[in-house]
Amino acid sequence: MGIEALREVFAAALEIAPERVNAELAYNSIEEWDSTAHMALVAAIEQRFGVMLQTQEVLDLSSFGKAAEILRRHGVAFDE
Amino acid sequence: MTYHVASPSCMPHSDEIADLVAQYRRVPLRGRTITLVPYEARHAGEVVRLRNDARVRHYLHQPEELTLEQQLRWTASYSNRRDDLYWLVEHQGRFIGTNRLYGIGPTQAEKGSQIIEESVAAAGPFALESDLMLLHFAFETLRVEKVLAVIRSDSGKVLSMNRRFGFRDAALRTVRAVEFRELVLEAARFDPARLDALVSYWSNRVGH
């Protein structure tokens, strides 16, 4: 599954244009990444990639890059 | 959720609102991951602790630290009001925040004073469910036509979250040199199915 799938998940959960999802996207960088969007993002990642994040991973998921790193630890391979 | 009451179709009068407020000051509202516990004087210390967090003081526009004496004076005033419901947010036996509906009348109410401790805010849907429960209660039990919210213009994430409920910008207001946005959510625009489902999804992992 490509990194593009993760980008789509972010755009849909945060309700932002896909072009705004890039390597620099972080919790503190945009207003739309609010606490409700964070809940939606975690749920969407789990459903799309078939994983269950640990509580610490939910807390650590603070950027697009961090999400990719967490998913790699769960065995998700990105063909970048 | 278990906090709805059977409701006649007509709009409630002020006396009925006051009766409902009195009734719901005695009844905890149980959600999927949290319980909204009606505020009482014995909770004053918890409120002081929650409100004196630096981040909370900024977005609630509270320049000075709140003291227990001030909170107890507010409690005395609150006890005499019949248009105001203030709750502690409880999760797994701990008070992790507050929420409030005030200025409750036959047609509208205002929500505010929402706090969820930063240390747990990202670990579960507590802020989301707290507001959803409050909005369900306002529209389905109190049967108001609209809910208002007044939020600092520089609280971007709080504004964003409220817009996800359907709140729309209505006006700007300046209080002690700080700009606030007045938001409004009409009953007809309250469509919580997707957010209710999100709380349900999360309730399976964080428990109550």
What pLDDT, on a 0 to 100 scale, did the predictor assign at position A2?
Answer: 80
Contacts of B202 in chain A (CB under 8 A): 39, 43
Contact yes or no for B158 and A39 at CB 8 A: no
Higher pLDDT, B113 or B182: B182
Is some CB atom of chain B closer than 8 A to the CB atom of A4? no
List of residues 6+ apart from B114 with CB closer than 8 A: B97, B98, B99, B100, B127, B130, B131
Q: Look at residue B1 and tell me if it is in a domain.
A: no
Q: Domain total for chain B?
A: 1
Residue B150 near residue B112, CB atoms below 8 Å: yes
Which residue of B123, B124, B161 is in closest CB contact with A34?
A: B161
Residue B4 reports pLDDT greater than 50: no
What pLDDT, on a 0 to 100 scale, did the predictor assign at position A70?
Answer: 97
What pLDDT, on a 0 to 100 scale, did the predictor assign at position B169?
Answer: 97
| Mean pLDDT estimate for chain B | 92
How far is A80 from B204, CA to CA, in rounded Å?
Answer: 33
Q: Are strands B35-38 and B85-91 parallel, antiparallel or unpaired?
A: antiparallel
Q: Which domain holds residue B163?
A: 14-202
What pLDDT, on a 0 to 100 scale, did the predictor assign at position A51?
Answer: 96
pLDDT 10s digits, A8-64: 999 999 999 999 999 899 999 999 999 999 999 999 999 999 999 999 999 999 999
What pLDDT, on a 0 to 100 scale, did the predictor assign at position A14?
Answer: 97
Is some CB atom of chain B closer than 8 A to the CB atom of A58? yes
Q: Look at residue B39 and tell me if it is in a domain.
A: yes
Q: What's the CATH number where B135 sits?
A: 3.40.630.30
- Which residue does chain B place closest to A60, by CA atoms? B122
C-beta atoms surrounding B57 within 10 Å: 15
Contact yes or no for B160 and A32 at CB 8 A: yes
Q: How confident is the model at residue B59 (pLDDT cuts 50, 70, 90)?
A: confident
List of residues 6+ apart from B120 with CB closer than 8 A: B91, B96, B126
CA of B160 to nearest chain A CA: how many angstroms apart?
A: 6
Q: Look at residue A80 and tell me if it is in a domain.
A: no
Q: What's the CATH number where A25 sits?
A: 1.10.1200.10
| Residue showing tokens 């469910």 | B129
Q: Look at residue B7 and tell me if it is in a domain.
A: no
Q: How confident is the model at residue B12 (pLDDT cuts 50, 70, 90)?
A: low
Contacts of B207 in chain A (CB under 8 A): none
Q: Look at residue B93 and tell me if it is in a domain.
A: yes
Q: Look at residue B207 and tell me if it is in a domain.
A: no
**How many A/B residue pairs have CB atoms within 8 Å?**
45
Taking every pair of Cα atoms in chain A, the longest distance, rounded to a whole number of angstroms, is 31
Residue A80 reports pLDDT greater than 80: no
- Which residue does chain B place closest to A58, by CA atoms? B123
